[in-house]
Chain A
Amino acid sequence: MKNDLALKIQACVDNELNATEAREMACLVQSDAEERALHDGLIAIRDLTVANEPEYKLPESGEFYWSKIKRDIASSGTLPVRESSKAPFWPAIWTRMIATCGVALAIALLISVNRRGLVGPQVHEIESALDEMSTITFHSDSANMTVVWVQNADFN
């Protein structure tokens, strides 16, 4: 007998076959002593195991066991789920919306102020080319303008 057949006999024992397959298997098992022995052996060990599931007792006191569960629940800060789901959720949504709008408004205001140059002239010294010529160049982003100041050092 092949492995497939052995597994099929087991599937029959476990009621995992459809009605047709189960009937075929029952006939097969009845007609062959070897297959019947396997079938009966599988049933015997299954029933023995199921009927005698080992029992394991908690190795510590129930109070001690519960105390850790309680501590873990408290430290996880979890509210009773149903309670929190019952709580009205509109305040939370409003808070979130107001915070988002506030941030967006602040960004828009900053951009606007920047564009209008209200934060003061953004003047940068670009270069001072030569010491003796005393040339100084300024560029203003807000005014979109570059000013070059040329001064002879001898005049000072």
Chain B
Amino acid sequence: MTQGDHNAKPDDALVRASQNGDMVAFEELVSRHRDKVYARAFSMMRNEDTALDLSQQAWVKAWQRLAQFHGDSSFLTWMTRIVINLCLDQLRKQKRLRAESIEQLEEDLGGVERQMPVITPNPTERLERSELRERIDRALGHLTYEHRTVLILHEFQELEYKEIAKRMECSIGTVMSRLFYARRKMAVLMAGWKREESK
């Protein structure tokens, strides 16, 4: 069977075929979701080579564990979970999830500051969506990985505090303060860029 034969099939049919050893069906799944899986790895690692490597590892792992996929969630959700876990493992290995970054220290000493610039997308500003995305990407790049990871897991993966705490092996309180700090920093950065432009 060629990949073309699988084009019209839904994910669950491709998963079943893959579970029976159909590598072509699995290739079609990779082709459909590779960008999203890679994007999640890149958003967490902020490095192209690492993101490529980890996302490819995630696909290999998925192939090996296909029997464990029972369709409780979508295939993409399951895949994303695998790649996130690989990224978190990698970050732990690199000892990058340390608690003593400068920003963490700042957070601990100052507590969560309340001042949160109100950012509302202004239609008159005529920012293209791609430009907004580019700014958010730039702001994400300014966060430490602890803060960025919490933000990604909450805003983009829509995980609850409890689930994030479990994945990141920290307390719910830590998740809450990291999320608050990350949002505040994002808001400050976005407001700053807006001010610079209006000058």
A residues at B contact (CB < 8 Å) = 1, 3, 6-7, 10-11, 14, 16, 34, 37-38, 40-42, 44-46, 48-50, 52-60, 62, 65-66, 68-70, 72-73, 76, 78-83, 85
Contact = CB atoms under 8 A, between A and B. Distances in A.
Contacts of A34: 114
Give the residue among A11, A49, A76, A85 with the most B Cβ atoms within 10 A: A49
A42 B133 contact: no
Given A82-B19, A82-B20, A48 B39 contact: no
Closest 5 CB pairs of A and B: A80-B21, A41-B116, A82-B19, A54-B137, A81-B67
Contacts of A76: 60, 64
B149 interface: no
A53 B180 contact: no
Interface residues of B, number: 59
Interface of B: 18-23, 27, 30-31, 34-35, 38-39, 42-43, 48, 51-52, 56-57, 59-60, 63-68, 111-112, 114, 116-121, 129, 132-134, 136-137, 140, 151, 154-156, 160-161, 173, 176-177, 179-180, 183, 186-187, 190
B64 A78 contact: yes
A49 B120 contact: no
5 contacts: A3-B112, A10-B183, A70-B27, A73-B23, A81-B64
A10 B175 CA distance: 11
